[in-house]
Each structure stands twice: as C-alpha cells, then as structure tokens.
Chain A
Amino acid sequence: MSATAFAVPVGDPGTLKRAAGTFATLGSDHQGQLTKFNGQVQNALANWRGPIAEQYAVVAGDAARRFSAVVKALTAVHGALNTYASALETAQGTIGSLNRQVAAKDGASAQNQEARSLSGQESTVASTLRQAARTCEQALQTAQTTLATQCPDTMTTAQFVQAVKNAENRLNNPEKGADPVTLYTGLEYMLTAYALFASAKGGVAGAKAGNELSESEKLLEALQTQLNPMAKKMIAQLHDSVEQARLLRGWEQVTMDVEKSVKAGQAATAVEGGSFLEGMLKAQNIEIEAKGAHAAASTSSGAAALDALFRTSKVDVILAPVTIAFGIHDLIWPAGDSTVEKTGNRVAGGVGAFGGALALATWAGGLFGVTWEIPGVDIGTGVIAGGMLLAAGLWAAGDAIYTYRHQIWDGLKDAGEWTWDGLKDAGEWTWDGLKDAGKSIADMPGNVVHGLEHLANPLDW
C-alpha cells in the first residue's frame, strides 16, 4: 500500500485565497474610484447648467450605478472564492491526515485494512468538497447575473434576448390591477437596457441607417399621401364614432412616429455610428458648436426638425428622446442579416426605446441607491410616466410597422394598382379580410390597428 491511499484533492487553496484577497482589494479600490468619480461629477455640475449638464448628470448617474455593481460583484467573488479555498484546504488536510494514518500501519495488509476502514471518511470529505465547489459556482453565477442587470454589456446576445423576452412577457401579461409604474420599474433588466445601448455593441450603425433611410422616407411619404386617404376611407367605414376617433388619432400618431424614425435615421448617418454614447455626445457637440449642424449634413427639412425634436423634447431631458428615437429606429429597421439576429436586434431596439424613458425613472426614483444629488436636474414623476407611455406606444407601433414593412414597400412600388375601389372590390380591403389577405399592403392596416390600440392605451395590454 502506498502512502497516498486516497487521492488528495487538487487545487491550491493558498493561491485561491490570494486571488480572493486581490478581488477584495480591487473591490475596495473600485469603491474608492467611485468616491472620487462622484466628487468630480459634483464639482463639474456645481455651476454648470443647461442641456449638456443635464445629460452629463444622467450619464454620470448611470456610470455610478455601474461602479457600485462592479464593487458588489467583486465582493461576492471574494466571498465565494475564500469560502471554497477554506473548504479545499480542509479537505486536503483531512485526506492528508487519512493518508498518514494509513501509512503509519506496518505492512500492506494492515494498510489496506486501515484504508478500507477510513474510506467512509474519505468519501464524506470528497462529497463535501464537491458540494462546496457547486455552492461556489452558484454564488459566482448569481454574482454574474446580478452584475448583468446593472451592466447588460456583460451579457451575451442570447442572454440579453432572453432577458428581454422575459420582460416582454411580463409587459404583455401583467397581473390584474398592477400599477403601471410598479410594473415598469420592476423590470430591472429593461431598465438597464440603456447601459447596453450606450456600449459599443449597442451603437447605432451609421452606414446601415444610411442605407435604410431611403426606405423609411418612402414609407413616410406613403403614410402622408397614398395611405392617408385610404385610412380615412377605412375609418369612415366604422360606425362607432369613438372607434373612429381613436383610429384616426392612432393613424396620425403612426405617421408622426415614422417621421421621427426618418429623422433618427438621418441623425444616425450624421453621427456616423460608433457607440451610442459617442454618438450622443457627438450629437450634443454639434448642437452646441454649430446650431443646426444636422441640417447642414442633409438637404432635407427633416434634419432641422430633428434638432427641434432634441431641443424641445416633452420630457425635457435630451437623453431620453435620443434613446427613444434611435431605439424605435432599430426596432423598425434592425441591423443583421439572419432572422435570429434581426429578431434579437429588433427586441434590443424596442428595449432601447424603453430604456430612455426608464433610465429617467431609475434615476429619479433612486431605485439603484445612487444617493448623491444632481444640481440642475429636476425630473418630475409625471414626466417619467409620460416618457414610459410614449415608449410603450412607440414599441407597439414600430412592431406592427416592422412586421409589414416589406409589404408596404412592395405595395408602394406597385402603387398604380393601389386604389381603394380596386382593393375593396377584390375583397381584400375589408376588416374581416385584413387578417387573411396575406399579400401586399392589404395586411398592414389590421396589424397597425392592433398596434394603434396600444398607442391609444399602451398600458391596457
């Protein structure tokens, strides 16, 4: 019988503890950087006012939240590794002791007998260590999940899409009587979508937006000209005046939303991609340094209106409308070549639309425990609710328009065949037939109506 009757668990508890200590030190250092960061932000904002200062404060608040999330993760990693290192150390010590007991016996026969008598203890030690390893793994995975809710840029695409789908399900199936603000603010993964959008991965691709801009412009033109008369006739078919009014308002809203998406596309091409945050800052610089610079980058009047959108936002803080505008643009015209990728980007775009409003809600509500005051920023609860409603409506409308964008586009190319009477006679342009028409533009209104219902009452899902 050899001296090592039982296999000593592999691993180096001393090194593990040193690594755990490094994580603890890094967490402490990171907390120190957060303190410095907060101090400098307060310094910067002490006498600084205006839209850039407000935007700066919001982004700084998001960065502070990221600091805290990393500190929390580092602390958790330290704890998990330290606990496992102790378990490993104990197991190695116990197995070593058992081996020494076996080795102390004279002769192979006695050693074998001793080993058999101790095998139960060895088995228990090994089992305990395996359990400690699984517990450590679970603690680490929990730390990573928690980190991802605050820093979604750490998630894989698949993880992010799944998180968004979960959130979408909660939005579509709210518990009866759920308070809208509670419902939305409870979607912590969606709240953090802004951070993802601000990362390099979530940026608006300027070239892609440029390629697709022409299609969005055609869609806008169609909504304002060819489709609008048809919509009016369609609305006139309704007998309920309340329904008529609701659909009319919805149709007008869709037109306005598409107009905004056109302008967002123009802005994206002007900003030339990069990270969303870079684009946001670039756009801000353009506004400060050369008012109307967007207009200079485009010959259309839409760019000037974009300036107005950014400057006169109803939610007062520039960050939110920018995020919403770009979010809805990506929702309608997602980047990517494969279906799966498009779906993921589409969902991400929708979340981006939500993220702008919800970032404000997060900030103003202090939901993430950021306690320092922001001079010059005063966001009211009503404004936040309005932003959330706007985002919800945009998502719904964009979703419907996206689904039928190709039919819209194909239909426009054959606009000569598009007459109200012709469609009506063909039996395709009827309320009952909309669902089953299955070709050309005839499908679109029914689905837009579905989206419009959300527009009219976006929280009544």
Chain B
Amino acid sequence: MGLVGADVAHLKAAAAAMAPIASTVTGQATAIRSAGSLAAGAAGDAGLGGTITKVAAAVSTATTDTGTVVGNLKNAVEVSAANVATASGTK
C-alpha cells in the first residue's frame, strides 16, 4: 500500500481514538431513553406520554446502532493497521 511504519502508528492512534467515541455514544443512548421516561411521566397526558416514550426509544436505538457502527469502524482500522504493519515489515 505504500505505507510506512509511521503510517501504521497513525492508523493505530486513529483506531484508539474511536473507542471513547463509541463508548460515549452508547452511553448517550441510555441517557436519551432515561430522559424520555422522565418526560413521559411528567407530561400528564397519556397519549403524549406514549409518543414521547416511542420517540425517545427510536432516538436511543439510532444512537446505540451508531455506537455499534463506530465500534466496528474502530475494529476495521485496527485490522488494517495490523495488516499494513505486516506488509511493511514493522511488525
């Protein structure tokens, strides 16, 4: 691929930096669902409360799945860094 050892280190660093993003995003999903429950309980209107819960669940699901995608991207970078390292003789 034309990459050198410094690039491998760069890739590894990028992969490592993705981990806290995935973790934070996953945590946000939980917070979103909790905020939805809080709001639904305070709405005072059964229909509105149900809608709030559904929307919060949908946003939470989207956020969870985004966290999963970020985690998978982190793994992809790690795998490629390892392969580049092998190919470039730095490992």
Contacts and interface: CB of A to CB of B under 8 A. Distances in A.
Given A11-B44, A19-B42, A40-B17, 12 more contacts: A12-B44, A22-B31, A23-B32, A48-B1, A48-B11, A49-B1, A49-B2, A84-B48, A147-B59, A154-B58, A154-B59, A288-B79
B73 A63 contact: yes
Interface residues of B, number: 52
A277 B52 CA distance: 30
A52 B76 CA distance: 8
Contacts of B52: 77, 81, 140
A73 B59 contact: yes
B62 A69 contact: yes
A30 B1 contact: no
Nearest to A201: B65
Contacts of B72: 59, 277-278, 281
Contact of A153 (B21, B35, B51, B62): B62
Interface in B47-78: 47-48, 51-52, 54-56, 58-59, 61-63, 65-66, 68-70, 72-73, 75-77
Contacts of A23: 32, 35, 39
B1 to A, nearest CB: 5
A14 B42 CA distance: 8
A284 interface: yes
Given A133-B47, A154-B61, A284-B76, A62 B69 contact: yes
Interface string B1-19: 1110001001101110110
B62 A88 contact: no
A195 B69 CA distance: 10
Contact of B25 (A16, A30, A136, A148): A30
A198 B42 CA distance: 36
25 contacts: A12-B41, A12-B42, A14-B42, A19-B36, A19-B38, A22-B38, A29-B28, A30-B28, A33-B21, A36-B21, A43-B14, A43-B17, A49-B2, A50-B1, A56-B73, A56-B76, A63-B70, A74-B59, A77-B52, A81-B39, A81-B52, A147-B62, A153-B62, A198-B69, A277-B69
A144 B75 contact: no
Given A11-B45, A44-B11, A50-B1, A153 B28 contact: no
